[in-house]
């Protein structure tokens, strides 16, 4: 396994023909890279920025079936997500945790109403359930949520779901992909598609460090670029109809004193029909999210004042002390790649199902969905892509594949728990060089495991941006930039429509 960027770049020149080239290093692309590499296909993933720099590091950090999709009647989506939630806990127990959520009830009918819905959620989860939901008395609700607004409180319903570290998960997925034989390269943007006889036969990519262009041939090219999906589709066909509507979701980060304890709050219906969460996240509290249609997609979406106001207002309704703008420690915004909203304003009502699309030139596009369902999305995508490219048929093994860092008792590593099986090596490094364990900032529990030296998880290189991934990782260490360490001729019918296994959003 190569361990430096120049070797990886050399691989781009050395390999004549890749089986699979994946564009995009978010949850979806990384999942596809793991899926393809673990089946033994020679796989390359190219990411234009940091891994998971876009949507995949700005989620609510829930591994969930999606209680609110039950309300939409999308049972199949919930069922699939609950299955994947169980697999994620099984394969990445160092990053996925059980979290109790309470739906507070201020009307007599809410207890039975939400109680029944959440019982259905339990039933759908079956043996992979995270805990049984139950009705709570007013007293018990207050015990679990001491800072919950008690005026008019009748009781609550507690249910259980998964919480995870999204940006860390992305890094561990990239490591897993490489361990399975994939080549993963960030800061390398795909700028065009190669075609042979009108069929996609590779990509043109540019290394951001050297500005060198690479012409990379592939049996199949998979577009996993989230909200940038249509940009890549237009590289294939200028006239391609837009598939994606972007919807912005904002979270604010507050001090934990607003909601001490381990229980999260779930508000099933805000003024405009959204779901709102207030969730303990390490020594902070995350409150989110919003659902605002946006016209422009960018790597660094900007939260709107009204979105922050909305979150503060609603948090204030449920918490004893009302948070003010001065209490907001930070804000992060992400763009949901929603398929098929028809340009309407109400993106909250658009399905979160994923869509798999194959163009007439053979470009495979996978988009939509959720973090939680990335594995299933990847499995379906590689099944389709392998058939399309006439790759040898090989079964998926990812249901049983542990992610890098897998550790069943990671909690014993304290603040280093998210590093899982890498934690002992980090501890050794901190012991060997105590300066690395120094806080980077007096008010933050950020350690100075500096990126200038070699890093236990194989990154090196200077810090260059402060992406959300970096911010996520900065929690414990200064951002190590992902610099890997290592690393036609087809014929098919001219018109491919939506692939049979891809579910379309309604
Ligand atoms: C506010 C919010 C909260 C959410 N909360 C949850 C949650 O709690 N649980 C859950 O399961 N899901 C959640 N989701 C959904 C989940 O985050 C997304 O479904 C998922 O992250 C999408 O991943 P992706 O890889 O498709 O897209 P992205 O993460 O956006 O990745 C696409 C990547 O492609 C790269 N790219 C684009 N163009 C090119 C190019 N030309 N060359 C190379 N690279 C390129 C981009 O830089 C980007 O890194 C949430 C989403 C939002 C917005």
CB of 176 closer than 6 angstroms to any ligand 1 atom:
no
d(CA 231, CA 233): 5
The strand pair at 213-223 and 364-368 is best described as: parallel
Instruction: Point out which residues pair with 248 in neighbouring strands.
Output: 292, 335
Same domain as 423, residue 378: no
State in Å: Cα 369 to ligand 1 middle. 9
Q: Is 231 helix (H, G, I), strand (E, B) or coil?
A: helix
Closest by CA to 386, choosing from 7, 153, 40, 25, is 40
Instruction: Render the burial of 471-483: b for 16+ CB within 10 Å, e for the rest.
Output: ebbbbbbbbbbbb
Count CB-CB contacts under 10 A for residue 242: 10
Q: How many CA atoms lie within 13 A of 466 on its CB side?
A: 6
Q: Is residue 341 part of a domain?
A: no
d(CA 160, CA 320): 24
pLDDT of residue 353: 83
Of all residues in the chain, the percent with pLDDT exceeding 90 is 76
Q: Is residue 63 part of a domain?
A: no
Q: Is residue 318 part of a domain?
A: yes
d(CA 151, CA 153): 6
pLDDT of residue 174: 98
- When divided into structural domains, the chain yields a total of 3
| For residue 501, pLDDT beyond 90 | no
> Which domain-ending residue is among 336, 361, 384?
336
Residue appearing with tokens 């995350």: 286
Q: Is residue 484 part of a domain?
A: no
* Kind plus residue range of the DSSP H or E element containing 439: strand 439-441
Q: What are phi and psi of 122, to 5 degrees?
A: -60, -45
31-80: pLDDT as tens digits: 999 999 999 999 999 999 999 999 999 999 999 988 878 877 788 889 99
Nearest-atom number in ligand 1 for the CA of 299 is 47
Q: What is the DSSP string of 40-106?
A: T--EEEE-SSSTT-SGGGSS--EE---HHHHHTT-HHHHHHHHHHHHHHHHH-TTTEEEEEEEEEE-
**If you average pLDDT over residues 236-245, what whole number do you get?**
92
**If you average pLDDT over residues 4-29, what whole number do you get?**
96
**What string of H, E and C letters represents the secondary structure of 97-154?**
EEEEEEEEECCCCHHHHHHHHHHHHHHHHHHHCCCCCEEECHHHHHHHCCCECCCCCC
pLDDT of residue 254: 97
Where is average pLDDT lowest: 18-32, 76-90, 368-382, 470-484?
470-484
Q: Are 259 and 213 in contact (CB under 8 A)?
A: no
83: CATH: 3.30.9.10
State in Å: Cα 68 to ligand 1 middle. 20
| For residue 226, pLDDT beyond 60 | yes
| For residue 386, pLDDT beyond 90 | yes
Same domain as 466, residue 369: no
**If you average pLDDT over residues 109-137, what whole number do you get?**
93
d(CA 296, CA 335): 10
Same domain as 250, residue 239: no
The strand pair at 199-207 and 18-23 is best described as: unpaired
Same domain as 255, residue 369: no
The torsion defined by the Cα of 497, 29, 78 and 249, in degrees rounded to 10, comes to -110
Nearest CA to ligand 1 atom 31: 26
Q: Is residue 223 part of a domain?
A: yes
Q: Are 344 and 459 in contact (CB under 8 A)?
A: no
pLDDT of residue 319: 96
Nearest CA to ligand 1 atom 6: 59
Q: Is residue 281 part of a domain?
A: yes
pLDDT of residue 300: 94
Q: Kindly report the CA angle at 291 between 286 and 296, in degrees rounded to 5? A: 115
Count CB-CB contacts under 10 A for residue 270: 17
Q: Which domain holds residue 459?
A: 415-474
CB of 45 closer than 6 angstroms to any ligand 1 atom:
no
| For residue 227, pLDDT beyond 90 | yes
- Length of the chain (residues): 506
> Which domain-ending residue is among 310, 336, 362?
336
Same domain as 396, residue 377: yes
Q: Are 25 and 174 in contact (CB under 8 A)?
A: yes
pLDDT of residue 448: 52
Residue 473 binned pLDDT confidence (cut-offs 50, 70, 90): very low
Closest by CA to 332, choosing from 399, 233, 426, 253, is 253
Residue appearing with tokens 């598939």: 243
Nearest CA to ligand 1 atom 9: 62
Q: Is residue 487 part of a domain?
A: no
Residues 6+ apart with CB under 8 A from 232: 23, 190, 193, 223, 225, 363, 365
Q: Are 374 and 83 in contact (CB under 8 A)?
A: no
The strand pair at 276-281 and 264-267 is best described as: antiparallel
Same domain as 110, residue 14: no
Q: Best mutation site among 24, 185, 192 for ligand 1, i.e. most ligand atoms within 8 A of its Cβ?
A: 24
315-341: pLDDT as tens digits: 999 999 999 999 999 999 999 998 874
CB of 57 closer than 6 angstroms to any ligand 1 atom:
no
Same domain as 454, residue 384: no
* Kind plus residue range of the DSSP H or E element containing 220: strand 213-223
Closest by CA to 381, choosing from 19, 18, 31, is 31
Same domain as 225, residue 358: yes
175: CATH: 3.50.50.60
pLDDT of residue 491: 25
Q: Are 78 and 65 in contact (CB under 8 A)?
A: yes
Q: Output the six-digit token pair for 454.
A: 């070699």
pLDDT of residue 485: 29
Same domain as 223, residue 91: no
State in Å: Cα 14 to ligand 1 middle. 30
35-48: pLDDT as tens digits: 999 999 999 999 99
Same domain as 91, residue 47: no
State in Å: Cα 54 to ligand 1 middle. 6
Q: Is 6 helix (H, G, I), strand (E, B) or coil?
A: helix
Same domain as 277, residue 156: yes
Of all residues in the chain, the percent with pLDDT exceeding 70 is 84
Which of the pair, 501 or 317, is modelled with greater confidence?
317
Task: Judge if pTM exceeds 0.85.
Answer: yes
Q: Is residue 479 part of a domain?
A: no
Same domain as 425, residue 387: no
CB of 43 closer than 6 angstroms to any ligand 1 atom:
no
State in Å: Cα 263 to ligand 1 middle. 27
- C-alpha distance from residue 213 to each of 40, 113, 188, 203, 225 (Å): 27, 58, 9, 10, 20
Residue 500 binned pLDDT confidence (cut-offs 50, 70, 90): very low
CB of 162 closer than 6 angstroms to any ligand 1 atom:
no
Q: Is 168 helix (H, G, I), strand (E, B) or coil?
A: helix
CB of 369 closer than 6 angstroms to any ligand 1 atom:
yes
> Which domain-ending residue is among 282, 315, 336?
336
Handedness of CA 69, 75, 81, 85 (dihedral sign): positive
Closest by CA to 142, choosing from 156, 131, 163, is 156
| For residue 150, pLDDT beyond 70 | yes
Count CB-CB contacts under 10 A for residue 95: 27
243-296: pLDDT as tens digits: 999 999 999 999 999 999 999 999 998 877 888 999 999 889 999 999 999 999
Nearest-atom number in ligand 1 for the CA of 31 is 25
Strands, DSSP E only, in 233-351? Answer: 244-255, 264-267, 276-281, 284-288, 292-294, 330-339
184-217: pLDDT as tens digits: 999 999 999 999 999 999 999 999 999 999 999 9
Q: Kindly report the CA angle at 471 between 465 and 475, in degrees rounded to 5? A: 135
């Amino acid at each position: 396994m190569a361990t430096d960027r120049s070797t990886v770049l050399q691989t781009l020149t050395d390999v004549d023909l890749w089986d699979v080239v994946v564009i995009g290093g978010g949850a979806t692309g990384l999942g596809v890279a793991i899926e393809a590499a673990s089946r033994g296909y020679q796989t390359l993933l190219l990411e234009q920025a940091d891994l998971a720099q876009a949507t995949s590091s700005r989620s609510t950090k829930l591994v969930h079936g999606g209680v609110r999709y039950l309300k939409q009647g999308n049972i199949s989506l919930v069922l699939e997500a609950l299955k994947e939630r169980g697999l994620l806990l099984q394969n990445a127990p160092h990053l996925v945790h059980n979290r109790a959520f309470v739906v507070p009830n201020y009307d007599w009918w809410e207890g039975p109403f939400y109680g029944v819905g959440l019982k259905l959620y339990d039933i759908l989860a079956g043996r992979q359930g995270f805990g049984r939901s139950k009705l709570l008395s007013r007293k018990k609700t207050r015990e679990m949520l001491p800072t919950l607004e008690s005026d008019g409180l009748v009781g609550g319903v507690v249910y259980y779901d998964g919480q995870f570290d999204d940006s860390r998960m992305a890094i561990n997925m990239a490591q897993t992909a490489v361990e399975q034989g994939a080549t993963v390269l960030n800061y390398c943007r795909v700028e065009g598609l190669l075609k042979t006889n009108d069929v996609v036969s590779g990509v043109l990519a540019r290394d951001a460090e050297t500005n060198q262009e690479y012409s990379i041939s592939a049996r199949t090219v998979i577009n996993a670029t989230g909200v940038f999906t249509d940009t890549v589709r237009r590289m294939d066909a200028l006239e391609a109809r837009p598939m994606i509507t972007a919807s912005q979701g904002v979270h604010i980060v507050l001090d934990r004193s607003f909601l001490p304890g381990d229980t999260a709050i779930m508000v099933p219906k805000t003024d405009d029909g959204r779901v709102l969460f207030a969730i303990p996240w390490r020594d902070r509290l995350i409150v989110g999210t919003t659902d605002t249609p946006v016209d422009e997609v960018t790597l660094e979406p900007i939260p709107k004042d009204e979105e922050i106001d909305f979150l503060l207002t609603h948090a204030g309704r449920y918490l004893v002390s009302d948070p003010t703008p001065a209490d907001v420690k930070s804000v992060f915004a992400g763009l949901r790649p929603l398929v098929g909203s028809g340009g309407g304003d109400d993106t909250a009502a658009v399905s979160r199902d994923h869509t798999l699309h194959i163009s007439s030139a053979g470009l495979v596009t996978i988009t939509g969905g959720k973090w939680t369902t990335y594995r299933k999305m990847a499995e379906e995508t590689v099944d389709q892509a392998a058939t399309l490219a006439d790759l040898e048929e090989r079964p998926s093994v990812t249901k049983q594949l542990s992610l890098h860092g897998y550790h069943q008792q990671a909690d014993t590593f304290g603040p280093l728990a998210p590093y899982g099986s890498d934690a002992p090596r980090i501890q050794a490094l901190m012991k060997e060089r105590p300066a690395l364990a120094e806080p980077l900032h007096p008010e933050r529990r950020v350690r100075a495991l500096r990126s200038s030296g070699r890093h236990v998880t194989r990154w090196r290189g200077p810090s260059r941006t402060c992406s959300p991934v970096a911010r996520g990782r900065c929690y414990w260490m200064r951002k190590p930039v992902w610099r890997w360490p290592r690393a036609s001729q087809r014929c098919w019918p001219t018109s491919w429509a939506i692939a049979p296994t891809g579910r379309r959003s309604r």
